[in-house]
Amino acid sequence: MKCRFGCGEYGRAGACPPQTPSVAECREFFHEFSQAVVLHFEGQMDKPEDRHAWSAKINAGLVKLERAVFVAGFEKAFLLFMDSCCFCKECSGNRETCQQPRMARPAPEAMAVDVYTTVRQAGFSVNVLLDYNQKMDRFAFLMVR
Ligand code: SF4
């Protein structure tokens, strides 16, 4: 509901709802895993538009991390990005026409995760921010079994 109502990317991003699995399918997906590594990123932007490049750079590194964990023997490793995909200036808006289908991953919130509650349970402090002058806290999850 948070994605469908209130997010400007709904229906316009290839790794966001409604391109992601249903809530029931997401629940089933998470039951496949016994552990999640929570990765915390802090960022403060001069301009809101800078967030895109910042997220794209970090998300590209996270794909490499997923690969390294996979080849280390954790074959179910699956990375959930710390922001929406952000690799392309203009997202194609769906999986079929995604310009980098091997790289794109959903964010945890796009997989129906309540990120605020989940990271607080993991010991992180996170609050709603009021403007871009404040430091952002972003979280990626690496699912492992
Ligand atoms: S790789 Fe590009 S086209 Fe695919 S979901 Fe990400 S931003 Fe959209």
User: Closest ligand 1 atom to the C-alpha of 87?
Assistant: 7
Decide if 58 is inside a domain.
Answer: yes
Number of domains within the chain = 1
**Neighbouring residues of 56: CB distance < 8 A, sequence distance ≥ 6:** 86, 87
CA 58–ligand 1 middle distance (angstroms): 15
Decide if 120 is inside a domain.
Answer: yes
Decide if 96 is inside a domain.
Answer: yes
Decide if 83 is inside a domain.
Answer: yes
- Nearest CA, atom 2, ligand 1: 88
Decide if 33 is inside a domain.
Answer: yes
CA 121–ligand 1 middle distance (angstroms): 31
Decide if 10 is inside a domain.
Answer: no
How much is the pTM?
A: 0.94
Decide if 14 is inside a domain.
Answer: no
Domain range spanning residue 56?
23-124
Report the distance separating Cα 102 and Cα 98, nearest Å.
9
Q: What is the pLDDT tens value at each position of the chain, 145 positions in all? A: 999 999 999 999 999 999 999 999 999 999 999 999 999 999 999 898 999 999 999 999 999 999 999 999 999 999 999 999 999 999 999 999 999 999 999 999 999 999 999 999 999 999 999 988 899 999 999 999 9
Neighbour count for residue 39 (Cβ, 10 Å) = 17
